[in-house]
Amino acid sequence: MKIQLAIFFSTCFVCCVCVTIFPVPPRQDQVEILLDFKNEFPSRNCDHIWNTPDVVFRSPNISSWTKDSASFDGVVFDNATGAVTELNLGGACISGTIQANSSIFRFQHLRYLRLFINHFEASPLPSGFGRLTNLEYLDLSQNGFTGEVPSSISNLSRLTSLDLSYNKLTGRFPHIHKAYNLTLLSSIDLSYNHFSETIPSSLFTMPFLWYLDLRQNFLKDPLENMTSSPTSKLVHLDMAQNLFSYRILEPISKLPNLTHLDLSFQNTTDTINFDFLPFKSLEYLDLSGNSVSMLNTSSKNLSFLILSNCNLTEFPTFMKTLRNLRGLDVSKNRLKGKVPQWLWKLPSLGNVNLSQNSFSFLEGLPKVLLNSSLTELDLSSNSFHGSFPIIPPTIQVMAASNNYFTGDIPLTLCKASQLILLDLSYNNISGSIHRCLTNVSVLKLRNNDLTGRLPDIESGLLVLLDLAHNQISGKLPRSLVNCTSLKFLNMEGNNISDTFPFWLKALPKLEVIVLRSNRFHGPISSPERSLSFTALRIMDISLNDFNGSLPPNYFANLSEPLVNSPQGNRWPEYRGDWHYKYPTEPWYYPSIDVRNKGRNMELEKIPDTCTIIDFSGNSFGGKIPESIGFLESLIVLDLSNNRFTGHIPSSLAKLKQLESLDLSRNKLSGKIPQEIKVLTFLAYINISHNRLTGQIPQSTQIGGQSKSSFEGNIDLCGLPLEETCFREATGEPSSTETQKQEEVLNWKAAAVGYGPGVLFGLVIGQAFASYKPALFYKLFRL
């Protein structure tokens, strides 16, 4: 018997080793299903690298699937059976509708299905997913699914994780809690949908559920009272941006293991009385966007407290005992006066956001911060004044814009060797810029009184440099060419005297160049130096002394983002949101001043799709290059206040994204090209004060402009001007030409009458003089 058992176990071991070393090839029927699924959707080449704060992954390319493929991108086969057990198709550029009979529902051995970030807009969530009864993990997030969650989901008895977030799902809350088959669920994410009505309190007591995210729906308080649930395993609960009232605190206070609670931005006028509720394990609490009073908690483990926009008028003193507090956000409240000194003595405190209040000073200055453990501090948009405080050497992010700080930039900032971001914009800081500050990733010092030259900068870490509206002089340091990570350069409103920095094109990531209102001079084109940037999308060199002409091919290879038409959604997503968790990300983008649609404006957040060329206020001459038509992504084009001559290039009609066009105050002649009528996004056009003639192109966009946009030309006619082009259209002379012709006819008539009259007078005079002199004398009494 022992020998037989030994042989049996040895055989099993050998079989396992063989399966591991020599896995079974994919089953033919499974390959056929994969190819059928591929053929259900348009073939698209997809090769994206997705970078998120939590994960970096490459999207699979299902276009590479063939019958003879040695492997299938995004597919995992079982080594023992050859069946498909995992489909990792996140971000695979799949678009269309998943039909009820889709091939994907034939994978009966499938355990993990990741189908997030694809394009199934306006498509209902298919009930066929309920046929995949072996599923343990289902991620259908960020797909645009609509309608209600099908009841067939309850068939997935082995499911442990369900993610339906970032869709457009509607209806009452899914009856997941009533599906007795779904008892193994440990993680549910239904955030960013349109679920409505109430949620059942029994959802909170599912036996294995530890993660529940219901953020941004239209959910209301539970109808039934929840009894105490000492066995609940729920740890993470996010119910932000719903319609809950203060009554929600009672049931959720009975969850003994809760460590993460987010109730921010409920659409209610109720005041939350958060006073001694028994959240003893709570580590993260976010009540932002609610009116909060009587704030207290019995949890001594609280690490992150977020109270932004809570209508607070007094600094919460209960925090004195929170020895584990690491992050505090009390921004956008009505706090004023001093910041208490005891705050900086909390031993674990690293991230503090006090912005957008009315604080005027830090109690215990100037060294109150020196011995703290701070890594991020935001003092921006307050009323702080006097010298800048001494910061601790541990600081990584220091934001203090929009205050009244004075004096020089303190040298103590040079001791902060880990400093990543420094923003002292919109203060009254004077003196020069220390060279030690150029090692940061983000340096924002705009709108101060800084003087002197910009020091040499050779940091490969520098992403953003914004020194606009100071009094910096000299030249741009050529060492900037070594800042290979630089994306944004804003030097507007200084006294820099230099030629055009052709050498900046060596920077592979440079997206924004703003040299507006300085003393730059000379040409911006050269036979020896082509103007070809890799990533440029905003170039503002207006209000300088640049001159010369632009060669015909000047714009042909300017940059890829400007030349290539935008793909997908043209409407902007904005850069620049604060996120305390990821300070090393270049999220703190610059604001820039632009002239758009005839108005000066400040872009506090730059849209991802924003593309601008502004050469206005210089001395450029010659023709506007026809190659301007290559900039198919351009939204704003301003060439006004120069000396351009010749015709307006008809290639402007290729700029289908153009919203603002200003060619005013040049010396342009000829007719306005009729082709620009096709620019359907054109909201503003100004071609005033040139030498243009003929009819103004008629379209909805152009006809709706002010007539001042066309004034000051030689002979323009048509709407919105009052001069009509009717006679010109019928072959008759225009009003101006008619007036000229009438003047010519009048001169001819005068000449015809004048000649015989003179001749007749001479004859009569001669007769009188020769034959009747006596009578002549009598008549005139001579």
SS3 267: coil
Query: What average pLDDT score do residues 549-572 get?
Result: 75
777 pLDDT higher than 70: no
Average pLDDT over residues 325-332: 95
Lowest mean pLDDT among 2-6, 524-528, 633-637, 775-779: 775-779
Question: How confident is residue 748, by pLDDT bands cut at 50, 70 and 90?
Answer: very low
Mean pLDDT of 201-222: 88
The model's confidence at residue 204, banded by pLDDT at 50, 70 and 90, is confident
Mean of pLDDT values over 487-516: 95
For the record, the structure tokens of 378 come out as 């935001």
Q: Is the pLDDT higher at 372 or at 575?
A: 372
pLDDT band at 383 (very low <50, low <70, confident <90, very high): very high
What is the mean pLDDT of the segment spanning 553-573? 70
pLDDT at 229 over 90: no
Per-residue DSSP letters for 15-72?
HHHHHHHSPPPPPHHHHHHHHHHHHTS-------EEE-SS-EEEPP-GGG--TT-SS-
| Strand pairing category for 397-399 and 304-306 | unpaired
User: What pLDDT shows up at residue 300?
Assistant: 82
Residue 419: what pLDDT? 92
Residue 717 scores a pLDDT above 80: yes
Q: Which of 201-205, 359-363, 530-534, 778-782 has the largest mean confidence? A: 359-363
Structure tokens at 111: 């355990």
- Whether residue 533 is predicted with pLDDT greater than 50 in this model: the reply is yes
Element (H, E) at 727: helix 726-729
pTM: 0.82
Average pLDDT score over residue span 474-482: 94
Range of 159-163, 199-203, 681-685, 734-738 with top mean pLDDT: 159-163
Of the pLDDT bands very low, low, confident and very high (cuts 50, 70, 90), residue 20 is very low
Confidence of residue 175 (pLDDT cuts 50, 70, 90): confident
Mean pLDDT value across residues 318-344: 94
User: How high is the pLDDT of residue 530?
Assistant: 72
Closest to 46 (Cα-Cα) out of 568, 733, 452: 568
- Do the Cβ atoms of 663 and 641 come closer than 8 Å? no
**pLDDT band at residue 766 under the 50/70/90 scheme:** very low
pLDDT of residue 216: 96
- What's the average model confidence in pLDDT over 547-555? 93
Distance separating alpha carbons of residues 742 and 234, to the nearest angstrom: 94
CB 428 within 8 A of CB 452: no
Res 224: pLDDT? 57
Residue 735 pLDDT > 80: no
Measured CA to CA, the distance from residue 302 to residue 286 in angstroms comes to: 11
Query: Strand pairing partners for 662?
Result: 638, 686
Count CB neighbours of 54 within 10 A. 6
The pair of three-digit structure tokens given for residue 641, joined into one six-digit string = 């206040």
pLDDT band of residue 177 (cuts 50, 70, 90) is low
In 552-635 the beta strands, taken as DSSP E runs, fall at 592-596, 599-603, 612-614, 619-623
Spatial separation of the C-alpha atoms in residues 82 and 70, rounded to whole Å: 13
String of DSSP letters for 224-254: SPPPP-TT----EEE--SS---GGGHHHHTT
- Segment 269-315, tens digit of pLDDT: 777 777 656 678 899 999 999 988 767 776 788 999 999 999 999 99
Q: Are 574 and 586 in contact (CB under 8 A)?
A: no
Average pLDDT (617-638) is 95
755 confidence band (pLDDT: 50, 70, 90): very low
**What average pLDDT score do residues 608-631 get?**
94
Q: Output the pLDDT for position 439.
A: 82
Between 496 and 281, the more confident residue is: 496
238 or 270, greater pLDDT: 238
* SS3 at position 682: coil
Band of the pLDDT at 503, cuts 50, 70, 90?
very high
Element (H, E) at 511: none
pLDDT of residue 275: 65
594-606 pLDDT, tens digit per residue, is 888 778 888 877 8
Distance of CA 201 to the CA centre of its chain: 39
Q: Which range (608-617, 622-631, 771-780) has the least confidence?
A: 771-780
Q: Is the pLDDT of residue 143 over 90?
A: yes
Tell whether the model's pLDDT for residue 230 goes beyond 90. no
Rounded CA-CA distance 576/238 in Å is 24
Please report the sign of the dihedral spanned by the C-alpha atoms of residue 678, residue 682, residue 684, residue 687.
Answer: negative
317: which 2 tokens? Answer: 């003193």
- Reply yes or no on whether the pLDDT at 583 is more than 50: no
b/e for 192-210, b at 16 or more Cβ within 10 A? Answer: bbebeeebbbebbbbeebb
The yes-or-no verdict on residue 743 having pLDDT over 80 is no
395: tokens are: 């600081």
Least confident of 5-9, 263-267, 335-339, 440-444: 5-9
Comparing CA positions, the residue from 639, 577, 591 lying closest to residue 612 is 639
- Give the three-class secondary structure for 473: strand
Tokens 């559920």 identify what position? 209
Instruction: Give the side-chain half-sphere CA count within 13 A for 591.
Output: 14
Confidence grade of residue 764 (pLDDT, cut at 50, 70, 90): very low
With b for 16 or more beta-carbon neighbours within 10 A and e for fewer, the 676-706 pattern comes to bbebeebebbbbbbbebebbbbeeebbeebe
pLDDT of residue 1: 47
Q: Whole-number mean pLDDT of the chain?
A: 83
pLDDT at 770 over 50: no
Give the pLDDT mean for 125-133: 94
Over pLDDT 70: what percentage of the chain? 82
Query: Once rounded to an integer, what is the mean pLDDT over residues 30-43?
Result: 90
